[in-house]
Amino acid sequence: MAADRNRQDALYAEAAAAYGPALGRLARSYERDADKQRDLLQDVHIALWRSFAGFEDGCSLRTWVYRVAHNIGASHIVRERRRGGHRLVGLEEVEATLASREGPPALERSRALDRVYELIHRLKPLDRQIILLYLEGSDAASIADVTGVSPGNAATRVHRIKSILARRYHGGSTT
């Protein structure tokens, strides 16, 4: 019992050290309001700690952490939408909207980042999850592993994300 608890604490400490900053960005991506963001981040950490009681070795720590964190983020969206949130869109819709516009000029880094967050806040949970995983450095195969989307679909969506980011943040430049 005590050994289990120690293992749980040790796994949580390892996850918080390795993925702490990524979890902060995730909370910011799922919630605009700063106070609610802090609450959400705490919820994610609590869920992670609790989840490690049932950690399965067949899954990598990274995959586990992202699955749990995104599930908490997704349920946060559902709760907030019940309280009257705005309409969320899919990557396809974002792409179609961009296609009908001229690309903006290249943006400075911090402004570009704000626009990335702005874009993410409009997305449906699963697309939000995929773009976040991509931005955190995951490739299509590990996105498929975390989300359960087929590798082919993950690759298609990653391609779409690249196209959206390039057109929206580099004034249409794709080089």
Partner 1 sequence: MTNDNGTNDVRMAWQADNAGNIRLSAQDLRARIERVSRRTSHRTIGGLIVCALVMLSWLYVWSVAPLTSGLARAGMTIIVGAIAVLGFQLIVHRDVAEDTWRAMAERGGAPSLAFHRWQLERQREFHRGWRVWSRMLLFVPGGVLFFLGFAGEHPEVATTIHLEFAAFLMLAAAAFPVNERLARRYERQLDELNRLQEDRS
User: Quick one: 97 or 106, whose CB is closer to partner 1?
Assistant: 106
Q: Measure the N-to-C terminal CA separation of the chain; round to a whole number of Å.
A: 56
> For partner 1, which residue of 116, 123, 140, 142 counts as binding (CB under 8 A)?
116
Is residue 50 close enough to count as binding partner 1 by CB under 8 A?
A: yes
> For partner 1, which residue of 36, 49, 93, 98 counts as binding (CB under 8 A)?
49
CB of 132 to partner 1, least distance (A): 9
CB of 101 to partner 1, least distance (A): 17
User: Which tokens is 78 given?
Assistant: 């559902």
> For partner 1, which residue of 1, 2, 102, 174 counts as binding (CB under 8 A)?
174
x-marked contacts with partner 1 along 1-40 as a string, rule CB under 8 A: --------x--xx--xx--xx-xxx-xx--------xx--
Instruction: Look up tokens 């799922």; give the residue.
Output: 30
The contacts found for 139-146 with CB under 8 angstroms, 24 or more apart, are 142/62, 142/63, 145/63, 146/63, 146/66, 146/67, 146/70
CA 159 to CA 162: how far, in whole Å?
A: 5
Is residue 119 close enough to count as binding partner 1 by CB under 8 A?
A: no
Nearest CA to 75 among 44, 107, 45? Answer: 44
Is residue 95 close enough to count as binding partner 1 by CB under 8 A?
A: no
User: Quick one: 123 or 169, whose CB is closer to partner 1?
Assistant: 169
Is residue 149 close enough to count as binding partner 1 by CB under 8 A?
A: yes
Give the number of C-alpha atoms closer than 13 A to the C-alpha of residue 121, restricted to the C-beta side: 16
